[in-house]
Amino acid sequence: MSVHPCEYRYYTPEMKRVFTEENKLQRWLDVEAALARAHAKLGRIPEGAAEEISRKASIRHVKFERVKEVEREINHDVMAMVRVLSEVCEGDAGKYVHLGATSYDIVDTAWALILRDAIGIIERRLVELKDVLLGLAMEHKETVCIGRTHGQHALPFTYGMKFAIWASEVNRHLERLKECARRVIVGKMSGAVGTMAGFGKDGFEIQRLVMEELGIGEVEIANQIAPRDNYAELIFLNALIAATLNRIAKEIRNLQRTEIGEVFEPFGAKQVGSSTMSHKRNPHRSERICGISRVIMSHVFPALENAALLEHERDLTNSSSERIILPESFILLDYILYEIIQILRGLEFNYENIEKNLNLTGGLMMSENVMLNLVKKGMGRQEAHELLRKLSLKCFREKVPFKKAILEHEILGNLVTEEELEEWLNPKNYIGTAVEQVERIVNRLRN
């Protein structure tokens, strides 16, 4: 029976397969086979033994149930795998399994293989998300809306810029992921404290051959385990990506508020928003992304402690937490990446509300443009700012349109014509380089 929502609710099949117990066992066996072949190449074990170990290093032969049975007897998961692999090998090949290695030569090198697959999936999702955002940015590069700062109406903005900013952020995550992967997708074959003593003079060559066989990099130097600062960096990066998805989803949630109603996540024809309030159209997928992102971000603390608090050449405190945070981090992140992509692909816009909200303050959000044009007419910047500040308060309190208040003002009424004011108060005339900025970002990130 499933217990964790990663097993039955918050997952994609592709990422879930990467972190199954069966796949982990297969990756351990892959490392054992590569180690045997490295020994054989150096003449340290018979070539036939290495071939037999490689043939049997598969979950078709090393049955998961049998490994678990042995583990219950000896209370050591890696050694259980070693024993079962040894017992299924014919002839005397079994006696060469795991020769010279320690458990975490196998575990950490297998983690590199698992993380390589997981990072590859996340990278593809990020590329897809970036492309969706760039498409929305171009589609809405001239969709003028109200920009908000401190939750208040600020200046005219465009939806295109909103999407382009997110796309740029996602692109930075892609750059970070490629850089981080170089440090994380590395294995080791250096023994119980890192001295390679179990391999004698062939230590460096054994490690090189194993990693070459597996197609991954080598740890620069290590004690019993691969450096955990690299794992902490990866977990932090996953948390950073989750923070971006949280930000996007929260913006969609806010823009879907009844009082704003500019943007809506997709809502199916038969979808139910509430079990009692039939009218509800809740942004439940965006809310789910925000909630799950909190779990992903919470993984940073144990990952940092794994890097900081391991004693001497290692202890076992990292192992238990990594069995939780590494699968959780990737399975949950992949799931919310998939979700945000689907939300953005089906995003709905209410252009009537966008226009209504743009003009909600009766022109007050154009005060900066009015101020700058008054300066062009000879008024001092500070004087214009103070005058408009007072006038804005009057408009707010007395519900007077900004245009009417300016034209009736004893000073401004003599400086500004109604035609000029119409031009100054048109939000579509005050978006600066927004369109050009979107085009530049799209052109750069698509090339």
What is the mean predicted confidence (pLDDT) over 106-122?
98
Burial class of residue 261 (count of CB atoms within 10 Å of its CB; 0-12, 13-18, 19+): middle
pLDDT of 349 > 70? The answer is: yes
Q: What was the pLDDT predicted at 274?
A: 56
Q: What was the pLDDT predicted at 357?
A: 96
- 54 noted as active-site residue: no
Give the CA count within 13 Å in the CB-facing half-sphere of 60.
Answer: 4
Q: How confident is the model at residue 315 (pLDDT cuts 50, 70, 90)?
A: confident
Prediction pTM value: 0.94
Residue 72, C-beta contacts closer than 8 angstroms, at least 6 positions apart: none
Task: Work out the mean pLDDT of the chain and round it to a whole number.
Answer: 94
Do 21 and 200 contact (CB within 8 A), yes or no?
no
List 2, 150, 279, 312, catalytic entry: 150
The tokens describing 24, both together, are 């982990």
Residue 287, C-beta contacts closer than 8 angstroms, at least 6 positions apart: 249, 253
Q: What was the pLDDT predicted at 110?
A: 98
The tokens describing 163, both together, are 């999407």
Query: Among 332, 326, 303, which Cα is nearest to 5's?
Result: 332
- 274 noted as active-site residue: yes
The tokens describing 6, both together, are 């990663």
List 4, 76, 274, 320, catalytic entry: 274
Do 173 and 126 contact (CB within 8 A), yes or no?
yes
> What are the chain's domains?
17-99 (1.10.275.10), 101-265+278-360+433-447 (1.20.200.10), 364-424 (1.10.40.30)
Cα separation, 17 vs 394, in Å, equals 63
What is the mean predicted confidence (pLDDT) over 43-54?
97
Phi, psi of 146 (to 5 degrees): -85, 135
What is the mean predicted confidence (pLDDT) over 408-422?
91
What are the beta bridge partners of residue 263?
349
pLDDT digits (tens, 9 = 90+) for 148-189: 999 999 999 999 999 999 999 999 999 999 999 999 999 999
Cα separation, 98 vs 83, in Å, equals 10
Count CB atoms within 10 A of the CB of residue 410. 6
Q: What was the pLDDT predicted at 88?
A: 97
Query: Among 18, 7, 5, 104, which Cα is nearest to 326's?
Result: 18
Q: Give residue 397's identity as a one-letter amino acid code.
A: R
pLDDT digits (tens, 9 = 90+) for 338-348: 999 999 999 99
pLDDT of 267 > 80? The answer is: no
Residue 384, C-beta contacts closer than 8 angstroms, at least 6 positions apart: 370, 371, 374, 375
Q: What was the pLDDT predicted at 309?
A: 87
Q: What was the pLDDT predicted at 270?
A: 65
Q: What was the pLDDT predicted at 346?
A: 95
* Range of weakest confidence among 269-273, 327-331, 385-389: 269-273
Cα separation, 105 vs 224, in Å, equals 8
Q: What was the pLDDT predicted at 393?
A: 93
Q: What was the pLDDT predicted at 297?
A: 97
DSSP per position, 271-312: --S-SS-TT----HHHHHHHHHHHHHHHTHHHHHHHHHH--T
What is the mean predicted confidence (pLDDT) over 247-268?
93
